[in-house]
Amino acid sequence: MGNLPMSTSMPTARPGYRFVPALIGRSTEAGVITLVECPAWCVVDHVAERSVFLEDLNHEGEHKTMQFAPSRGSAVPVEVYVSQWPGSHETQPYLAVDLDCEVDTYGRTAALALADQLVAFAADVRRLAQTLPDDAPVRSQADEALRRVRAGGAQ
């Protein structure tokens, strides 16, 4: 084996992509490191987030999150990110919209239409909020204690 020629050439990634290492295999095994072509927008560490099979590897862009915090109950997160599953039948990247663990996907045209709807909705929220009276000043417990002392002692 020591006399076999060694190739030092490296394949060239397509424009907008780079080669990165990926760990493939079950977590109970050592796994195999292989180079995969990864889009420039992908922020996934493909070694830290191993895939069982190469076909399971996915790319994700930066996640943007907003929390809807109802007055009762837990907050409902809304998260958006670009995603791509090269091993699936749908190989194009898409916008993933994750609303409380329910994910919908949008191609470019639909994602831009969604963005337009969100801008219009935000304008409606702003317009409605501007019709509300000014907020009452918020009093802290310390302010309330000071008011009581000034009014003649702690009651």
Q: What digits encode the pLDDT tens for the residues 88-109?
A: 888 899 999 998 889 999 999 9
Report yes or no on 24 lying in a domain: yes
Radius of gyration of the chain (CA): 26
The answer to whether residue 105 is domain-embedded is no
In a domain, 63, yes or no: no
14-51: per-residue pLDDT in tens? 999 999 999 999 988 889 999 999 999 999 999 999 99
Question: Is the whole-model pTM more than 0.95?
Answer: no
Residue whose C-alpha is closest to residue 36's, from 82, 9, 53, 81: 53
- Total structural domains in the chain? 1
Question: What 8-state DSSP symbol labels residue 155?
Answer: -
Q: Which domain holds residue 42?
A: 13-57
Q: How far apart are CA 79 and CA 121, in angstroms?
A: 17
Higher pLDDT, 61 or 74: 61
